[in-house]
Chain A
Amino acid sequence: MLISFIRIIKFAFQNFWRNIWLSIATLSIIVLTLISISSLIFVTVLTNEAINSVKQLVDLNVSFKPEVTLEEVQEIEVSLRELEQVSTTVFISKTEALKEFEAFHKDEELIQESLKELDENPLGHALVVKAKNLEDYPFVLTFFQEEGREDKIQEFNKNFEKHEVILEKMALVTKRVRELALAISIVFVLIAVLIVFNTIRIAIYTHSEEISIMKLVGASNAFVRGPFIFESFWYAFIATAITLALLYPLVNVVNPYINQFFSSNFDLVTYYTQNIVWIGLYEFVGMLLLNLVATSVALGKYLDV
């Protein structure tokens, strides 16, 4: 058993080396496919990052009336945090709100003078709410419209409809972008599968005569299959290693352009180096399974001797 296993591995390496041009051609196709799939992964990550960047800009700023007490706002905040649609809430006290207001209007003398005339802070406390998804904002808004809360809000009703329309449109756009990315991914993966499948089939077809000879001199199916199965493993391993090595400089080249596009701190090189093990593992396992299926299917008809 061990002797056969060692011989199978030896024959696999011998096949690989003695058919070096066929091996290089097969490897090149697999590497190109893996690079394409990696690009798709990066595009998906960048799309998600773009959507997240837009999401970060969206929040609800709810200003309460000056007479609403700190306890009342805190009570609303606690109820708000219990909603599964809410991601974060930030409390802004009326003092902080006034400071921000003054800072924002520091060059407007009329406003500054008007503020000095007032004995009391004219602003109320505020809450900045971020929902988990864009589609959740209308629900959060209805929370504030409920009886007992709506009359405590200073500047809520004015922008409600405008917010709702913008949020609905954004939710629709991001949903469509995701659907499009998914459709492109499926088509892309199908093409990749077909290319690799047929490449392996052609590679095995070139060995069909040898396979029948092996069978005629008494080789069992397992003994014939073994080297091809090991070669599949070998192809997947080498192709993944080459792909990962080639992607690093490629990612470095495109990274400055991506950094320009994203105002956030997203960095593709950092993402790649942090996830290289997972990307490599997924691509290796996926390609190995594909190679194994293609090899088994292609070998099947030549083994019947």
Chain B
Amino acid sequence: MWYTKNTVIVFKGVSKKYPPNVYALKDATLHIKPGEFVSIVGQSGVGKTTMAKLITAEQSPTKGKIIIGGWDISRIKNRAKPILRRQIGVIYQDFKLLPRKTVYENIAFALQVSGFPRSKIVKIVPQVVKIVGLEEKEERFPKQLSGGEKQRVAIARALAHRPKVLVADEPTGNLDTVNTNEIVDLLLKINGFGTTVVLVTHNREVVNGLKKRVVTLEEGEVVSDQAHGKYMI
């Protein structure tokens, strides 16, 4: 059996074709276990971000199956997407923070959309703010924060509803070395809590420093999958 209960993310022969005839992913198969830290690496345009978008149902596969936490999302309906996204934390290179909401409100928003009561929100938000080290900046708006701080807010927001999976799509792409290291440390800390982390990156130093599982993509195909890998290309 290609799928077992001991997997949190499964890609089974997944292809994604863009018109007219460009394949972003070709017959990709991948199993990720709960609590793993997996780096998806490769050069620009090899399908890394497509893979992240398929996990969050921003896109749907042309062929194949995607199972997240036992749920086949290959043909997920629009009305079910919010339910999936409330179970996955996602962070992006461009942070994607709500510009007219404060740090506190950005994090709280992820809980409010899930219908969390206020009493829980006022407990959870300060906890995650503390994890990312932004205790003094809860009332600031995104434009009043540095790039590294914005990414910490995005991480806090992704963590707020305690997802089993955290997808980080080029989270250090806009950051300097110091902030990059801090964000990677934070991801490792989150992984230490038991959260599965999928890191999509083309940053060689980051990947090589992690010494975790590395999946390498080339022209949309999985060309290597190493338990304690390095950036090969």
For A305, the closest partner residue in chain B by CB is B58
For window 212-226 of A, CB contacts with B under 8 Å fall at 212-221, 223
Residue A3 at the chain B interface, CB threshold 8 Å: yes
For window 58-90 of A, CB contacts with B under 8 Å fall at none
With a CB–CB cut-off of 8 A, which chain B residues contact A164? none
B112 touches which one: A7, A18, A216, A305 (CB < 8 A)?
Answer: A7
Count class of interface residues, chain A: 20 to 34
For window 95-121 of B, CB contacts with A under 8 Å fall at 96-101, 109-110, 112-115, 117-118
For window 26-59 of B, CB contacts with A under 8 Å fall at 56, 58
Contact between B100 and A223 (Cβ–Cβ < 8 Å)? Answer: no
Residue A48 at the chain B interface, CB threshold 8 Å: no
Residue A210 at the chain B interface, CB threshold 8 Å: yes
Contact between B97 and A213 (Cβ–Cβ < 8 Å)? Answer: yes
Count class of interface residues, chain B: 20 to 34
With a CB–CB cut-off of 8 A, which chain A residues contact B86? 218
- Interface flags, A282-296, vs B, CB<8A=1, else 0: 000000000000000
A interface SS class? helix
A216 touches which one: B56, B78, B79, B117 (CB < 8 A)?
Answer: B56
Rounded to whole angstroms, the CA-CA distance of A209 and B92 in the bound complex is 14
For window 180-221 of A, CB contacts with B under 8 Å fall at 209-210, 212-221
With a CB–CB cut-off of 8 A, which chain A residues contact B109? 214, 217, 219
Residue A4 at the chain B interface, CB threshold 8 Å: yes
B113 touches which one: A18, A212, A214, A305 (CB < 8 A)?
Answer: A214
Q: Nearest Cβ distance between residue B35 and chain A, in whole angstroms?
A: 22
- Interface flags, A1-35, vs B, CB<8A=1, else 0: 00110010000001100110000000000000000
Q: Nearest Cβ distance between residue A226 and chain B, in whole angstroms?
A: 11
Residue B202 at the chain A interface, CB threshold 8 Å: no
For A17, the closest partner residue in chain B by CB is B100
With a CB–CB cut-off of 8 A, which chain B residues contact A214? 98, 109, 113
With a CB–CB cut-off of 8 A, which chain A residues contact B58? 216, 305
For B92, the closest partner residue in chain A by CB is A216
Contact between B98 and A218 (Cβ–Cβ < 8 Å)? Answer: no
With a CB–CB cut-off of 8 A, which chain A residues contact B97? 213
Rounded to whole angstroms, the CA-CA distance of A217 and B90 in the bound complex is 8
Residue B82 at the chain A interface, CB threshold 8 Å: yes
A220 touches which one: B79, B98, B117 (CB < 8 A)?
Answer: B79
With a CB–CB cut-off of 8 A, which chain B residues contact A221? 78-79
Residue B211 at the chain A interface, CB threshold 8 Å: no
Contact between A217 and B157 (Cβ–Cβ < 8 Å)? Answer: yes
With a CB–CB cut-off of 8 A, which chain A residues contact B78? 221, 304
B98 touches which one: A3, A19, A210, A223 (CB < 8 A)?
Answer: A210
For A7, the closest partner residue in chain B by CB is B112
Rounded to whole angstroms, the CA-CA distance of A86 and B195 in the bound complex is 88
* Listed residue (A215, A216, A221, A223) with the most chain B CB atoms within 10 angstroms of its CB: A216
Q: Nearest Cβ distance between residue B215 and chain A, in whole angstroms?
A: 23
With a CB–CB cut-off of 8 A, which chain B residues contact A209? 99
Contact between A218 and B100 (Cβ–Cβ < 8 Å)? Answer: no
With a CB–CB cut-off of 8 A, which chain B residues contact A7? 112
Rounded to whole angstroms, the CA-CA distance of A15 and B58 in the bound complex is 26
For window 249-291 of A, CB contacts with B under 8 Å fall at none
* Listed residue (B100, B117, B157) with the most chain A CB atoms within 10 angstroms of its CB: B100
Contact between B90 and A216 (Cβ–Cβ < 8 Å)? Answer: yes
* Listed residue (A3, A213, A217, A219) with the most chain B CB atoms within 10 angstroms of its CB: A217
With a CB–CB cut-off of 8 A, which chain B residues contact A215? 81-82, 85
- Interface flags, B178-210, vs A, CB<8A=1, else 0: 000000000000000000000000000000000
Q: Nearest Cβ distance between residue A6 and chain B, in whole angstroms?
A: 10
* Listed residue (A209, A213, A218, A305) with the most chain B CB atoms within 10 angstroms of its CB: A218
Please name the 5 residue pairs, one residue from A and one from B, whose CB atoms are nearest each other, closest first: A218-B86, A218-B85, A219-B113, A18-B100, A220-B82
A-B contact pairs, 10 of them (CB 8 A): A3-B118, A210-B98, A215-B81, A215-B82, A216-B58, A218-B82, A218-B83, A220-B113, A223-B113, A304-B78
Sample of 16 more A-B contacts, CB < 8 Å, known A210-B99, A218-B161: A14-B100, A15-B100, A18-B100, A19-B100, A213-B98, A214-B109, A214-B113, A215-B81, A215-B82, A216-B96, A217-B85, A217-B109, A218-B82, A218-B86, A218-B110, A220-B113
